[in-house]
């Protein structure tokens, strides 16, 4: 097989983006001006497609903590958590997560991706049963796949479909693992966690929730959707990432089961990779402190989310869900989505263009995600750009007709 044969499938994916004038995968943030602005293509651009929900990447406390840690402990750990890569900061952050959640057990991994992989690969054996939400993130699917467990998906956010699948398993449902997320990052919809958890528990299954997009954003104390759903004392494993509201790089897993600490002895994504840098750990710790002590950040995020949601609705755009910090505009054709995305960029607004298969249930999404650091003036500028490019759903319909959709 030639090298071009090996890359044929990837070349085809690139080809399918042919109608996209600026290829989303090639966007470079040439200069980062703030959590909500960058220079892209020589133009100052408002960012409404990041995961910087609390806007803490430029927070003075976060920057000072990261800078001090780097100067005191060096730029990298040069080793795994199992060898020379566990510094005092890693242990302190694990204690902080355990205390914040009121659980005996917390572990930190080098990314959110590795957290899910690390948990799933270690607790699942070939033949184990897993039932996961069909919209689960790639790393949840990957963790299940690599573990060799038998996994199947229940219909997105549908407790009755979960019940049906567990019932069909008969005795094997006991000890199965049910997995859901809190806030889903593509459509911006939230899981009915109390109902899903109740069904899992009724059948004696374990319940795991990935709060990657909901930690710091939901719950009275910012613990996530498990907190707002009132199931913190029932959920077995909660995972999350530092790469969104925590403004850093890394991931965490907390559990009410103290045995989870044993993952350190058998989780390959924990053992066979370098630990997060001192600066990443210190930044995440400072951001965690901000979540604990500055609820006004969350309030501002929600005010921004409401303003953008209401504004887009008023312009006639079709939105994928109710108000959340992720507001996805549905566009019925790939070409229409690509066109709107390009035109927004020309107007100085960067959103995420999401195409199938990453866009569930629709041809394309323009994913807008809010930050506490957006000003109302920026939200209004984003709305003005949407008004210019789209004239609401009408322009999209025109784009679709042109594309023969």
> How far apart are the C-alpha atoms of 121 and 260, rounded to whole Å?
13
Complex with ligand PMP: residue 355 or 400, whichever CB lies closer: 355
Residue 184 beta carbon to ligand PMP: minimum distance, rounded to whole angstroms: 8
Rounded least distance, CB 6 to ligand PMP, Å? 26
Task: Select from 215, 198, 196, 213 the least CA-distant residue to 254.
Answer: 215
Least distance CB 295 / ligand PMP (angstroms): 24
Taking CA atoms, 305 is separated from 7, 212, 300, 386, in Å, by: 41, 18, 9, 15
Question: At its nearest, how many Å lie between ligand PMP and the CB of residue 116?
Answer: 6
Closer of 50 and 333 to ligand PMP (Cβ): 50
Find the shortest distance in angstroms from Cβ 243 to ligand PMP.
4
Q: Please, which residues bridge with residue 319 across strands?
A: 329
Which of residues 225 and 400 has its CB atom nearest to ligand PMP in the complex? Answer: 225
* Beta-bridge partners for 354: 365
Structure tokens that stand for 299 in this block: 């309030």
Q: Which of residues 36 and 116 has its CB atom nearest to ligand PMP in the complex? A: 116
Q: How far is the CB of 191 from ligand PMP (least distance, A)?
A: 11
Closer to ligand PMP by Cβ: residue 243 or 275: 243
Residue 178 to residue 127: CA distance in whole angstroms: 15
- CB-wise, 53 or 113, nearer to ligand PMP? 113
Rank residues 140 and 162 by Cβ distance to ligand PMP and give the closer one. Answer: 140
Q: How far is the CB of 221 from ligand PMP (least distance, A)?
A: 21
List residues binding ligand PMP (CB under 6 A).
111-113, 116, 137, 139, 181, 185, 210, 212-213, 241, 243, 251
């Amino acid at each position: 097989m030639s090298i071009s044969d090996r890359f044929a499938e990837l070349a085809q994916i690139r080809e399918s983006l042919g109608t996209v004038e600026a290829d989303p995968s090639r966007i470079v943030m040439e200069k980062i001006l703030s959590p909500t602005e960058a220079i892209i293509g020589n133009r100052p651009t408002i960012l409404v497609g990041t995961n910087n929900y609390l806007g803490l990447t430029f927070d003075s406390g976060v920057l000072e903590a990261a800078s001090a840690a780097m100067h005191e402990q060096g730029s990298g750990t040069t080793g795994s958590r199992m060898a020379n890569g566990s510094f005092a900061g890693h242990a302190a952050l694990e204690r902080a997560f355990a205390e914040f959640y009121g659980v005996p057990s917390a572990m930190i991994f080098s990314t959110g991706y590795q957290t899910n992989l690390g948990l799933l690969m270690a607790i699942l054996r070939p033949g184990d049963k897993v039932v996961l939400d069909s919209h689960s993130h790639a790393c949840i699917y990957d963790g299940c796949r690599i573990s060799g467990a038998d996994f199947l998906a229940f219909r997105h956010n549908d407790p009755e479909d979960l019940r049906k699948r567990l019932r069909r398993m008969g005795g094997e449902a006991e000890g199965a693992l049910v997995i859901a997320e809190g806030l889903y990052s593509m459509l911006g919809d939230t899981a009915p966690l109390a109902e899903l958890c109740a069904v899992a528990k009724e059948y004696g299954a374990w319940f795991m929730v990935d709060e990657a997009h909901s930690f710091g954003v939901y719950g009275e104390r910012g613990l996530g959707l498990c907190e707002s759903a009132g199931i913190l004392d029932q959920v077995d494993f909660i995972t999350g990432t530092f790469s969104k509201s925590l403004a850093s790089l890394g991931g965490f897993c907390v559990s009410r089961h103290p045995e989870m600490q044993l993952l350190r002895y058998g989780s390959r994504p924990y053992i066979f990779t370098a630990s997060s840098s001192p600066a990443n750990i210190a930044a995440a710790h400072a951001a965690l402190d901000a979540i604990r002590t500055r609820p006004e950040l969350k309030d501002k995020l929600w005010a921004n989310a409401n303003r953008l949601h209401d504004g887009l609705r008023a312009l006639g755009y079709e939105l994928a869900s109710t108000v959340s910090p992720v507001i996805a505009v549905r566009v019925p054709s790939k070409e229409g989505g690509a066109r709107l995305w390009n035109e927004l960029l020309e107007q100085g607004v960067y959103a995420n263009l999401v195409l199938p298969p990453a866009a569930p249930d629709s041809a394309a999404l323009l994913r807008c995600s809010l930050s506490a650091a957006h000003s109302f003036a920026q939200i209004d500028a984003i709305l003005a750009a949407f008004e210019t490019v789209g004239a609401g759903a009408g322009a999209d319909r025109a784009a679709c007709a042109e594309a023969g959709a």
